[in-house]
Structure 1
Amino acid sequence: MSTKSEKQNKENLTPRPPIVVVMGHIDHGKTTLLDYIRKTKVTESETGGITQHVGAYEIEVPASPANRGEKNTKITFLDTPGHEAFSQIRKHGAKIADIAVLVVAADDGVKTQTEESIQAIQKTGIPYIIAINKIDKENAAPDKIKKELSEKGIQIEEWGGKIPCVNISAKTGNGVNELLEMVNLIAELEDLKTDPNANASGYVLESYLDKKRGIAATLIIQNGKLKKGMRIVAKNATAPVRILENFLGEPLKEAGASSPVKITGFNETPESGFKFESFSSKKDAETTKTQIQRHRVLVDKDENDKNKVIIPLLIKADAKGSVDALVQQLKKAETKKVCLKIVRAKAGDITEDDAKLASGSENSIIIGFNVNASSNAKMLAERFEIQIKIFNIIYKAEDWIKEEIEKRTPKEEKEEIIGKAGIIKIFRDEKNKKIIGGEVKIGKITAGKKVKIYRREFLLGGGEILEVRHNKSKTEEVPEGQQFGALLQTKVNLAPKDTLEIYS
């Protein structure tokens, strides 16, 4: 069904504050930076001064001297516990942040989590700023950091590249205003919009059990407005919005786009990173929940089959009946080796939000039926290499998806047995590596080949031949009738008289 949040009226669109994620290596000053910006003591309350969860904070930034007299601007910051949590959110298709700030310590340099953060940011395609922190330290070497970043492919503006870089001290506040001005500048260029008349939609940041109020969650609104009395749906989790609080725990009657809010009273724990939608009536909420469950059932059994190729598919059509018909027809095109994962199936035009959701999964496809795709959706799809295909006849969509499935079907690799060998003795058994002695019964044993291991007629498992020796000398292969020594990589507990089948 089409929700109010799906139908953005261009005339109603208004600017929304940017959502900024702060990333970087442990102890490089991510939370200290936010601590200074918020003028609170968050860092000291964290275990060991290290962030333990995703924090969401909404701050007001005074107008710059050049724009004196204008209203203060808002920025929502996400403080992550590192790359793992951030990538988990991305994994669910939730493009939560609009801008990233990568914090690198001037006295430490590019470290493991710095590199992981760079990869995570670049994978999303969102714009980012380098913040070289701790420049107040005596051993600070910002130019060295810039060189290290350059070696990692990060070309900053100062050195002729396109990535903004700001030297800061989260401790003294030096350079922080410049960083915030850069965030606002990028936000203006990104032209972030919301429809304030739409029902709120966004993502679940984290969920937890409130001992007094039951299952609660922190949500971040990406579009529309959330009001008390509405209902939230996030996959199987639902909640009436009876208690609505801001990030400080203060009660609200309503909240707009980019706001982090706390909701209580969920029937079950909502998944972090999963998209939520809001509805004015319980009936609409329950209908949407049922649709989600029905479409999930179609693919759950296939998602667990690691031998299958999964094609993430987002379907938009002109009416609910068309959506259901299209899902039914396209699912018929599935094969034993390829299945379709329905990420979203709803009525309405193809929007930027659809493209963002599709970008969370590799090789996604958006199929439309008698609908249009917005220019922002097309632009985002091009950036993330997402195919958008629009049809006005259902069978043509089915024919096209059949061709796509054929292209993505993995070619069969035929296994050919090149030899059989019997194990005579186990010389060493260390974890997943075994040194054995044996005799080639049929064909040959060759280094680098895969093996299947049998005990009598029962298959125990598989492995790989890492090394082969004959008469104590290392060799590539040993022929039939000869004895050999071999180093195998396998988890199987081997025993004398076990049989190895060697495959090409």
Structure 2
Amino acid sequence: MENNTNKQHTRPPIIVVMGHIDHGKTKLLDTIRKENVIDKESGGITQHIGAYEAEVETAAGEKKHITFLDTPGHGAFSNMRRRGAHVADIAILVVAADDGVKPQTLEALEAIKTAGIPFVVAINKIDKAGADPDRVKKELSEKEVFVEDWGGKVPAIPISAKEGTGIQDLLEMLLLVAEIENLTADANAPAEGVIIESHLEPKRGNTATLLVTKGILKHGDFVIAGNAYSPVRIFENFRGQPIQKAPPSTPVRITGFNTIPEVGVEFKTAHTKKEAESIISKQPEQKRSSSPAVAPTTETTEEAGPHTAYLVVKADATGSLEAIEGELKKLENENLIIKIMKKGVGSINEDDAKVAGATMGSAIVGFHVRVEKEAIPTAERFGVAIKTFTIIYELLEWVQAHIEEAAPQETKEEVVGEAQILKIFSNKGSKQIVGGKVISGVIKNKSKIHIVRRDNVIAQGRIVELQHGKTEAQEVSEGNEFGIRIDSPTEIVPRDVIQSLEERTGKRSVSAS
């Protein structure tokens, strides 16, 4: 942004911390902020995008502010991670010195590249046995990322988030990059920004985390984000402390939205409720964060084709809901379709149970939400399973197991044996008497058969009578000759192969072929 008017003021940099799962992103922020947030996260994995401010004292004794975004690092949260890069000025790419470049490292690099923002590599865990910073630099160079001491321009700082080693060097490098970028904002303009996270707080109401990017957000303003709006009354900083105003680059939390705003949507401000409603009425209709239920279905059987699994999904925040949807989509294959009948933010209620109950074999899964007591008897009446989780990969494992258990029975024809035809004894219409030799498996009496010629199935038929020697047999095994009477409209010739088929019943496969 050009600094060509008196309205432009230098603002703190917005830093996104990115990298692979367990490479130390949240621990790095914890060390910087000097307060613990890791223990509040299930399984030690950050489940929501977080926004935090830190005051940094430079080597010259000057105090400066930095805003950090903490994006979850495991695969389920790729959309949240990209969103973090979209709203940030600078990225920290955290790579563990003992683990090297991993899949989410590459995904984070792609998000940084797409966003077009500068970044600094933080080579973490240098205190651990097996730490090899040069290995990290080499692996990055193989992905065309060249750090400064490898002939490139990307700063790389070795750190230990656990021990605090190198943290001050990293912070000063971030401030240097920010100074080069000349980050400014118009503090006198109407406040604008981005919705970073949104969720329903049971005792407070619809709540969102916002990042102010322009202007000063003040107590008494109205915030508009898509179809959602809220008075700025319950107005808190990232620590949950009440505030009266928030300048550019400040993360804040506001409670009181008429509906849960969508994550990633830009917000604007108005002075009155009437003005806010007028702005909403003039803009195109936008999707709400909670989709309506699909029309119920009473189908209990499926035609041949992929199995469809029906789910109701509830979560405590839109970011989590989006991540779960993305991971459920990955479970799909040519044998499985996952249909989300209803999704939303908030507790599992009776209506959720009714929607799920309309389709046999459906289930309700919740992430960091409670189950309302009215939902339980309704779900039991319809035979609907309800399960809640605090770890996303445990949710996915349960869904996979539930789908496999609920898959319908199906009858398949399987080839149990093959035989080559050696001689034709009689051919009168569809009734044919032939002789042959079993080349694999067994040929079974009265079984359905495929007639194979030049590796192609050309017709079907049925064995009417099977003889081994001069006596009727129930089956003839590999290596033995036989005589059979076949009912088939297609004329069989020597060297044809017949396949003996057997019907077998079992669970329909929901795995990839």
Please indicate the TM-score interval, normalised by the length of the shorter structure: 0.5 to 0.7
Matched with 1:36 is 31
Counterpart selection for 1:137 from 128, 137, 149:
128
Cα offset, 1:81, TM superposition: 0.9
1:236 to 214, 227, 232: 227
Contact 2:228–2:260 (Cα < 8 Å) also in 1: yes
User: Which residue in the other structure is 1:245 paired with?
Assistant: 236
Percentage of pairs with the same residue: 53
Structure 1: where are the runs of 5+ without partners? 1-7, 298-425, 430-468, 475-480, 486-504
Counterpart position of 2:146: 155
2:476 maps to 1:472: no
Q: Tell me by how many angstroms 1:89 deviates.
A: 4.8
Contact 1:31–1:51 (CA<8 Å) still a contact in 2?
yes
TM-score, normalised via structure 2 length: 0.55
SS of 1:187's equivalent in the other structure is helix
Q: Which amino acid aligns with 2:27?
A: T
How far the C-alpha of 1:281 sits from its partner, in A, is 2.6
Equivalent in the alignment of 2:8:
13
Alignment of 1:265-414 (within 5 A): 265-293=256-284
Match of 1:223 in 2: 214
Q: 1:83–1:116: 8 Å Cα contact kept in structure 2? A: no
1:179/1:149 CA distance change after superposition, 3 Å: same
8 Å contact 1:23–1:83 — kept in the other structure? no
- Code of the residue aligned with 2:6 in structure 1: it is E
Runs of 5+ unmatched residues, structure 2: 289-411, 416-451, 458-489, 498-513
Tell me if the contact between 1:236 and 1:293 (Cα under 8 Å) persists in the aligned partners.
no
8 A Cα contact 1:246 1:252, kept in partner: yes
- Please say which of residues 75-84 and 158-167 is displaced more in the overlay: 75-84
Structure 2 matches for 1:36-55, cutoff 5 A? 36-55=31-50
1:447: which partner in 2? none
Structure 1's 473 and 293: CA in aligned 2 closer, same or farther, altered over 3 A? closer
Distance 1:196 1:21 in 2: 22
* 1:170 equivalent among 161, 165, 188: 161
Match of residue 103 from structure 1: 94
- Mapped to 2, the partners of 1:162 and 1:136 lie a distance apart of 25
Instruction: Give secondary structure in 2 for the equivalent of 1:139.
Output: coil
Q: Is the 8 A contact 1:168 1:174 kept in 2?
A: yes
- Output the amino acid matched with 1:225: I
**What secondary structure, in the 3-state scheme, does the structure 1 residue paired with 2:152 have?**
coil
Please, which of 58, 66, 70 is the counterpart of residue 63 of structure 1?
A: 58
CA drift at 1:472: 2.1
Tell me if structure 1 keeps the 8 A contact 2:98–2:131.
yes
Contact 1:83–1:117 at 8 Å: present in 2 too?
no
- Aligned CA distance change for structure 1 residues 428 and 156 (closer, same or farther; 3 Å): farther
Question: Contact between 2:85 and 2:115, CA under 8 Å: does it hold in 1?
Answer: no
Within the candidate set 217, 238, 247, 1:256 is matched to 247
Which residue in the other structure is 1:182 paired with? 173
Which is worse superposed, 171-180 or 87-96? 87-96
Q: Distance in 2 between matches of 1:223 and 1:428?
A: 67
SS at match of 2:283: helix
Return the alpha-carbon distance in structure 2 between the equivalents of residues 87 and 14 of structure 1: 33
Consecutive aligned runs of 4 or more in structure 1 exceeding 6 Å deviation = 90-94, 426-429
Q: Using the alignment, how far apart are the partners of 1:92 and 1:179 within structure 2?
A: 23
- SS in structure 1 opposite 2:58? coil
Q: Does 1:197 align with 2:180?
A: no
Structure-2 separation of matches of 1:36 and 1:206 = 23
Q: Deviations over 1:8-49 (max 9, x none)?
A: 982111000011110111110000101111111222222121
Q: CA deviation at 1:125?
A: 0.9
Change (3 A) 1:23 1:116: same
AA aligned to 1:227 is: K
User: Structure 1 192/84 Cα, relative in aligned 2: closer, same or farther at 3 Å?
Assistant: farther
CA distance in 2 between counterparts of 1:78 and 1:87 reads 14
- Preserved contact between residue 90 and residue 273 of structure 1 (Cα < 8 Å): no
Q: In structure 1, what residue type is equivalent to 2:113?
A: Q
2:111 to 109, 120, 130: 120
Deviation track 1:322-358 (CA, whole Å, cap 9, x = no partner) reads xxxxxxxxxxxxxxxxxxxxxxxxxxxxxxxxxxxxx
**1:81 partnered with 2:81:** no
Cα separation, 1, equivalents of 2:192 and 2:98 = 41
- In structure 1, distance between residues paired with 2:85 and 2:94: 22
**What amino acid does structure 2 have at the position aligned with 1:260?**
P
Which AA in structure 1 matches 2:454?
N
Distance 1:17 1:167, change over 3 A: same
- SS of match in other structure, 1:221: strand
Q: Is the 8 A contact 1:54 1:205 kept in 2?
A: yes
Q: Are residues 295 and 51 of structure 1, via their aligned partners in 2, closer, same or farther at CA, if it must alter by over 3 Å?
A: closer
Letter in 2 for 1:273: G
CA contact (8 A) 1:88 1:273 kept: no
TM-score with structure 1 setting the length: 0.56
8 Å CA contact 2:73–2:81 kept in 1: the answer is no
Letter in 2 for 1:19: I
The structural deviation recorded for 1:161 is 0.8
Tell me if structure 2 keeps the 8 A contact 1:94–1:203.
Answer: no
RMSD: 3.0
Q: Measured at CA, do residues 44 and 94 of structure 1 come closer, stay the same or move farther in structure 2, by a change above 3 Å? A: closer
SS in 2 for 1:293: coil
